[in-house]
Structure 1
Amino acid sequence: MSLDSEGGFSRRLLLQSAVLMAAATRASSLLAQTNPEAKPVAQSPASSKGVFAEKHVMRAGHQIYVRDYPGRGPTYVMLHGFPDNCRIYEEIASRLSAGGHRVVTFDFLGFGASDKPDGFTYNFVQQMADMNAVVDDLKLGTVIPVGHDAGGPAAVNFALDHPDRVSSLVLLNCYYANSPVLAFPDFIELCCNPKTKLLSHAMMTDPKQAGYLFNFQQGLLLQNMTAPMRERFEQVLQPIIAQNFTQQPSAMPAFLAMTGDAYANLAANDRRITEMASFKKPVKLIWGVWDKYLNKPVALDIAKHFPNATFVGLEAEHWPQFDAPDEVVRHMLATT
C-alpha cells in the first residue's frame, strides 16, 4: 500500500522510519518485550498503572482502545498528543482513581493499541469523532476533558460543543489556536509546515538524517530535566512513545497525517476563539514551565480567552503528568 503520491511514503519507508525511531530512542531492549497493552490487565493498587478495565469502542468499523479506571463522576477523559498514546496518563490516572475518581483514557485511532487502518483519514476532526464515540459508548454523562499537547484542541472543542456535559476543563502543556507566542517543537514544525514538507519527508526516510532529527529534539527536551525526571523519561516515557512507531502496524501514518493537518486545525480553531468567552465553567491550566515550546506564555494566551481560567506553573518539562504527578493531581482536585 502506498499513500498519496504527494506524500510519497510507501510501507517500506514507513517501516524504515519505525526502525529508526527505535534506534533514536535507545529503547529497543524494552520494546522487544511483550506489549502490555495486548493482554488483559490486572494491576495491583500499588502499581503506577493502577487498576483499570480494558474496553474497545467501535467507530467507523474500527476499534478504539480504552482504559476505564473505576471511581465516581464526573469522569476525567484524558486525551493524548500525536507522538504519544494513553499511557502518558498512567501516573495521574492511577492516583485519581485511588482517590475515588473515575478516569477514562483512550488511544485515538492510529495510535497505541487502537486500530490503525490503511488509507484512513487521520485528522483533528477524526479525533473529535473518536472522543465523542468513547463518551457516548461508555455513557459517561458529565465529564472533565483533560488535554495534553495535540490533545488540547479536542479537549477545548469538546467543552465548547458540549458545555452542558462538561463540569470543568483541564489543560496540560498544550495549544489551541494560532498565537504570536506559539512554537511547535522544531522537528514537529518541520513536519507541519507545507513549505518544508518535501524536506521533512526526505529526512524522515533517510536513517542518518532522521536519526539526527530525533536526537536533536530529544537533547533539547532533556536540557532542563532533573536527574529523576531524565531517568523517568528514558526508562518509561521514551519507550511509550517509541512503541507507537516500532509496533506493527505503526503509528507513523497517523503521525504524518496529524502533523500535516496541524496548520489547518489552528486556522479552524482561530474561528472559534470568540466562543471561549461563553464557556463559564472552570478551566485549569497546569503547566510545566520548563517547556521550551508550549511554555507559560502559550498557557496564558489560552487562559485569557476563558472567563474562569486559572494557571498553575510547575517545575516540570513538557509532560508535567510524569514529572510531577502528585502536584498535577492536587491542582486538578483543588476547588479554587
Structure 2
Amino acid sequence: MTTRSRDHRISTPFGTIAAREFPGEGDPFVFLHGFPDDSAIYDRLIPELGNRHVVTFDFAGYGKSERTNGAGLEEGQRVRETAAVVDHLGLDRVVIVGHDAGGPVAVEYSLAHPENVSRLVLLNCYFGDSPTLRFPEMIRLLGDPNLVPLADALIHDGEKRKWLLEHTARQFGYEPTDEIREVAIIPQYFGSTEQPNALQAIRAWTGRLFKDVALQNEAIASGSLSKLSFPVDIIFGANDPYLNSGVAEHLASLFPNSRRESIEARHWVQWDDPKSVADALMRER
C-alpha cells in the first residue's frame, strides 16, 4: 500500500478535525480511536492493509485536531464528528472500525447511519455493561462524577499524571518505555512539539463515561442492535485484563451476524500485532 496520504481539515460544530485519507480500493476502512490516544494508534496497521482505501482522524480536541474551549462533550458528539468526516470525504459505504472508547462510537454511528455501513469492526472495546467488563482504575477515577476535584487535582499535576499513566500501562501489560506510549498516548497527556496536550478533551470524554454506558444499556434493551443485518467482526487481543474475552463474547451476543476472532495481543491489538488484525480485516464476508 502506498504510504502517501491526503490530509484533510474538516470543519464541524465542535472544531476543525484533522483526517488522513489513504486512497485505495474497496469500501474504505474508517478507524476510530479511544480515550487515551489518537489516530496514530493505527500507524502500524495501515501499511498491512495492501491497496485498501483507509481513513483515520483525530476526534475534536485530540491529536492534530483543533483544541476548543468548550465546557464538555455533547451527547452524540463523537457520532456527529464521524458523520462529518464520512460526509466531507463523500464516502458512500464504509467499514467502520472502533477501538477502546471508539468502539461505542462505531456502534452508535452504525445505528444512526446503517445505510452507510457495510461492516462494523470492534477492537478491544465495550458497549454497555457486561459481566466481565472492568474499566481501568485511572479511567474509573476520571469518569466518577463524585471524584471530580480529586481527578482534576491529580491530572493537572505533571508528576502525578506521569505516575498514573505508568501505573496504568503496567496494569495493561505495557512498559513506560514502549514506543506506543511515546507515539500515541504521551502527546495527549503532555503535548509535544507538534501539538498541545488534550487534557480538556480527555476530561470531557471520560467525564461522560457512565452516562454513555447507561445510554448504551438502553440501546441494547431496545433491541436495536439485533436489527443490524451487516456483518460485525469482533477482533480482540486476548491478553487485555480489562476489555477482555468475556466482553468480546458479550458483544458477539448483541448482533445477529457477528464473528469473533482472538489474537495473542494486549489492549492495543492493532499496534501489538498489526499483521493478524489486517488479515482479519481483509477476510470479507
If the length of structure 2 is used for normalisation, what is the TM-score? 0.92
Q: What is the match of residue 95 of structure 1?
A: 48
Q: What is the match of residue 317 of structure 1?
A: 266
Q: What is the match of residue 242 of structure 1?
A: 186
**Deviation for aligned residue 1:241:** 1.0
Answer yes or no: is the 8 Å Cα contact 2:34–2:102 preserved in 1.
yes
Aligned length: 280
AA at the equivalent of 1:121: G
Q: Verify: 1:56 aligned to 2:9, yes or no.
A: yes
Residues 211-220 or 306-315, more deviating: 211-220
**Deviation for aligned residue 1:211:** 3.6
Q: What is the match of residue 196 of structure 1?
A: 147
Where in structure 2 are the equivalents of 1:169-180 lying within 5 Å? 169-180=120-131
**Deviation for aligned residue 1:120:** 5.1
Q: Verify: 1:253 aligned to 2:200, yes or no.
A: yes
Answer yes or no: is the 8 Å Cα contact 1:110–1:122 preserved in 2.
no
Q: What is the match of residue 96 of structure 2?
A: 145
**Deviation for aligned residue 1:124:** 5.2
- Kindly tell me: are residues 91 and 77 of structure 1, through their superposed partners in 2, closer, same or farther at Cα, counting changes over 3 Å? same
**Deviation for aligned residue 1:125:** 1.6
Provide the rounded CA distance (Å) in 2 between the counterparts of 1:94 and 1:63.
26
User: What is the DSSP-based 3-state SS (H/G/I as helix, E as strand, rest coil) of the residue aligned with 1:65?
Assistant: strand
Provide the rounded CA distance (Å) in 2 between the counterparts of 1:121 and 1:129.
15
Q: Verify: 1:104 aligned to 2:51, yes or no.
A: no
Identity %: 36
Deviations 1:271-313 (A, max 9, x none): 1111110011110011001001000101111110101111111
Deviations 1:44-91 (A, max 9, x none): 94xxxx221111111127310000011123111100002111111112
Q: What is the match of residue 160 of structure 1?
A: 111
**Deviation for aligned residue 1:123:** 4.4
Provide the rounded CA distance (Å) in 1 between the counterparts of 2:144 and 2:248.
22
Q: What is the match of residue 278 of structure 2?
A: 329
1:287 pairs, out of 227, 233, 236, with: 236
User: What is the DSSP-based 3-state SS (H/G/I as helix, E as strand, rest coil) of the residue aligned with 1:177?
Assistant: coil
1:308 pairs, out of 237, 257, 262, with: 257
AA at the equivalent of 2:279: R
**Deviation for aligned residue 1:207:** 4.3
- Kindly tell me: are residues 133 and 202 of structure 1, through their superposed partners in 2, closer, same or farther at Cα, counting changes over 3 Å? same
Provide the rounded CA distance (Å) in 1 between the counterparts of 2:267 and 2:205.
19
Answer yes or no: is the 8 Å Cα contact 2:18–2:65 preserved in 1.
yes
User: What is the DSSP-based 3-state SS (H/G/I as helix, E as strand, rest coil) of the residue aligned with 1:141?
Assistant: coil
Provide the rounded CA distance (Å) in 1 between the counterparts of 2:113 and 2:26.
17
User: What is the DSSP-based 3-state SS (H/G/I as helix, E as strand, rest coil) of the residue aligned with 1:287?
Assistant: strand
Where structure 2 has 5 or more consecutive residues not aligned to the other structure, the ranges are none
**Deviation for aligned residue 1:198:** 2.7
Answer yes or no: is the 8 Å Cα contact 1:123–1:258 preserved in 2.
no
**Deviation for aligned residue 1:183:** 1.2
Deviations 1:81-136 (A, max 9, x none): 0211111111222222xx22101000000000000111253345211111010001
Provide the rounded CA distance (Å) in 2 between the counterparts of 1:169 and 1:183.
23
Answer yes or no: is the 8 Å Cα contact 1:79–1:105 preserved in 2.
yes
2:136 pairs, out of 185, 198, 201, with: 185
Provide the rounded CA distance (Å) in 2 between the counterparts of 1:73 and 1:146.
15
Provide the rounded CA distance (Å) in 2 between the counterparts of 1:115 and 1:245.
15
**Deviation for aligned residue 1:139:** 0.5
Q: What is the match of residue 23 of structure 1?
A: none
- Kindly tell me: are residues 74 and 239 of structure 1, through their superposed partners in 2, closer, same or farther at Cα, counting changes over 3 Å? closer
User: What is the DSSP-based 3-state SS (H/G/I as helix, E as strand, rest coil) of the residue aligned with 1:331?
Assistant: helix
Provide the rounded CA distance (Å) in 2 between the counterparts of 1:73 and 1:335.
11
**Deviation for aligned residue 1:203:** 2.3
Q: What is the match of residue 166 of structure 2?
A: 215
If the length of structure 1 is used for normalisation, what is the TM-score? 0.79
**Deviation for aligned residue 1:186:** 0.9
AA at the equivalent of 1:331: A
Provide the rounded CA distance (Å) in 2 between the counterparts of 1:52 and 1:281.
29
Where structure 1 has 5 or more consecutive residues not aligned to the other structure, the ranges are 1-43
- Kindly tell me: are residues 311 and 212 of structure 1, through their superposed partners in 2, closer, same or farther at Cα, counting changes over 3 Å? same
- Kindly tell me: are residues 293 and 238 of structure 1, through their superposed partners in 2, closer, same or farther at Cα, counting changes over 3 Å? farther
User: What is the DSSP-based 3-state SS (H/G/I as helix, E as strand, rest coil) of the residue aligned with 2:54?
Assistant: strand
Residues 236-245 or 272-281, more deviating: 236-245
- Kindly tell me: are residues 236 and 294 of structure 1, through their superposed partners in 2, closer, same or farther at Cα, counting changes over 3 Å? closer
User: What is the DSSP-based 3-state SS (H/G/I as helix, E as strand, rest coil) of the residue aligned with 1:140?
Assistant: coil
